[in-house]
Chain A
Amino acid sequence: MDSSTQLHHFHGGLHLEGHKKISSQSAITPCKPQKLYVVPVQQHIGAAGEIIVEKGQHVLKGQMLATTKILLSAPVHSPVSGTVVDIGKHAVPHPSGMEADCIIIENDFQDEWVARKPVAENYHQMNSHDLRNIVRNAGIVGLGGAVFPAAIKQTETNIHTLILNGVECEPYITCDDRLMQERAREIISGADIIGHIIKARECIIAIEDNKPEAIAAMQVAIDEDDTGFFQIKVIPTKYPSGSERQLIKIITGKEVPINSLPADIDVLCHNVGTAYAIHQAVFKDEPLISRIVTITGNGVKQPQNMEVPIGSYIADCIAQCGGYSDNASCMIVGGPMMGYSIHSDQVPVVKASNCLLVTSNDEIYPANTEAHLPCIRCAKCVEVCPAKLLPQQIYWYASTQNFERVTEYHLFDCIECGCCSYVCPSQIPLVQYYRSAKSKIWEMEADQKKSNNARKRHEARQHRLDEQKREREERLRQKREMLNSKKGKTEENEIDVKKAAIAEALARVKQKKETQAIQPKNTDNLNAEQQRQIEEADQRRKAMKREHDE
């Protein structure tokens, strides 16, 4: 166990009251089987999968319900055996309160699994590509909350350091804490698999110092492994140490540059829950069909950690925790800092649901619905921002819709940790401004893309029409030319024919003349009298001709 003296620090952050004891005291309880399960098709960042089951079809536990060929995506599986009773829109936990495509399965309570062929220990002989496919087909996504498809992160190989994130810095949430306490060996095994895939040289397990039991349990599991690959680093409790970039800064002292990924500085970060899910996929061939959920807050009677099949109704989970207490006020999915409130509990637990926080009226996080006070530019937000941004400037430009400046002030490096909103004396919901600005910028980018596409299509159409017009004209021209040339030819021919006819006639006359050129008879031996008469006749003829000509 390393002492925290070798650790680095990140800028800002907060020391928050943990509220972890509310839920961390009891063991993980399995969620009782329910009648209906609602499995949303898209539970990850990226594209939605393609549904491969039909309404009325019988499915087995662990059977794939939606698949995908797109890289940035993850399949979903049936949490129970039963019948697909409906495929369609159903409310899902999302800040918009919108409905999304879901597959609804009625449990037959047989708990019948699909055929499983775990590779188990053989993974040491497998290559990265095949192991990654196992992770991918098991539908494993980052269970820390970002739900980024895990296999994509693992496409980088020869990463030096694998950081296993067991920090769990957000108040109230204890699911990773309990998981580390109870299933340390499986987590270590999962981390070893990840290490094998990315060919890591070391694995650092980061845990906050407010989880001594988890640290002890993980240490025991590491001691069983004598490779020296694993190492625990206990880090001081500070929010948001569990954020990927901040954690990397604490452990390695290096900052992940803007527009870069941790892999660019030879580091990869995975949540302990993800490592556990990978262990289950490799050693039991179980896809990600359940997760540990912290159900906590003073608004629920028996707060606890529960292993919940993906697709269980939140209402059913709460009911198993003894139901709501009388002063329950608000349901938050995720932690108090980064979560969002939902208005109905008739929505399913999804892969991203690490915590269901039911606040009571007397708890410290009231929903800020009223108009806030103006910014007094105290710069408290600047002091706490772990991303070293200028939150008040970003707020200034975001609230006046100056999106160009907002981007210049690196809005997109904001991790939405909520530290700035927490310390703001004017109680400005800063993060909501940032989220709003981000989604508006994304929309503008999408519009720009669409209009560029429209321009291209319009130009292509214009080009096609011009081309068609040109072709038509060309055809017409050719036709005209052809007609003309035909006409020209006939004229020539006619002339030729006429000429030929004339020539022929002349020739004929000539020939006739020649043939008729019989010497006149009786022209020989003329006497003088006869000669004179002929000359006279000639004279007359000439005179007549002259007369005629005149």
Chain B
Amino acid sequence: MLTIVIVLLAIIAAIFGVLLGYSAIRFKVEGDPIVDKIDALLPQTQCGQCTYPGCRPYAEAIANGEADINQCPPGGETTIIALADLLGVEVKPLNAEHGEAKEIKTVVVIDEQTCIGCTLCIQACPVDAILGAAKHMHTVIASECTGCNLCIPPCPVDCIHIVPIAQNMNNWKWPEPDGGHAAPKAG
């Protein structure tokens, strides 16, 4: 009788073992989903102002509890609120140590007359938005530039300038009417 019970239990244990082993392979979670979720909320400027080398490392740091949610100046208040929402923590003001939130979106342009073609900015650009080759003129692909300004310090001839993104009829926004904040507060 005892032997039967032991054998039965052993068989059941084996079945569950196989099942668990199979699930571990079949339903393997690639990476850390919370990191992906945080990363999706970050502005992807890869500017490093948060002190981490890019948005993903910052997301990982937040997920590990090493970094706070208020270290991203390009994301500003919107990102902080979104992160607070996702992580269920209190919204806090942007940490001024990391810089100020940008009011106007900007890109950089290279003064092509001054550029000496040193390629230092190309190496600095986190999103490959600068085009050029050694001893040839460089230029910024404006539509790909995230406005991180990482290319500015390496430039030996200071030929990279920050310009605001031009307003045109396609990105123009209807202004909010006056008295917008006289609206009823929820509650």
Contact = CB atoms under 8 A, between A and B. Distances in A.
A134 B2 CA distance: 90
Chain A residues touching B, majority SS? helix
A440 B54 contact: no
B158 to A, nearest CB: 24
Interface stretch (A104-112, A144-152, A364-372): A364-372
A435 interface: yes
Contact of A439 (B42, B45, B172, B177): B172
A371 B44 contact: no
Contacts of B176: 399, 432-433, 436
Given A95-B174, A370-B178, A461-B128, A454 B46 contact: yes
Interface string A178-193: 0000000000000000
B21 to A, nearest CB: 32
Range of interface residues on A (Cβ < 8 Å):
35 or more
B44 A454 contact: yes
Interface in B132-187: 144, 146, 167-169, 171-186
A395 B179 CA distance: 13
Contacts of A100: 168-169
A96 B128 contact: no
A110 B176 CA distance: 48
Interface residues of B, number: 33
A96 B166 CA distance: 14
A433 B175 CA distance: 8
Contacts of A92: 169
A396 interface: yes
Contact of B175 (A395, A436, A446, A455): A436
Contact of B46 (A429, A458, A460): A458
B127 interface: yes
A98 interface: yes
B69 interface: no
A201 interface: no
A504 interface: no
Nearest to A444: B78
B169 A372 contact: no
A95 B175 CA distance: 10
Nearest to B53: A462
Contacts of A399: 176, 180-181, 183
Interface of B: 39, 42-46, 54-55, 126-129, 144, 146, 167-169, 171-186
Interface of A: 42, 92, 94-96, 98, 100, 368-372, 374-375, 395-396, 399-400, 428-429, 432-433, 435-436, 438-440, 443, 446-447, 450-455, 457-458, 460-462
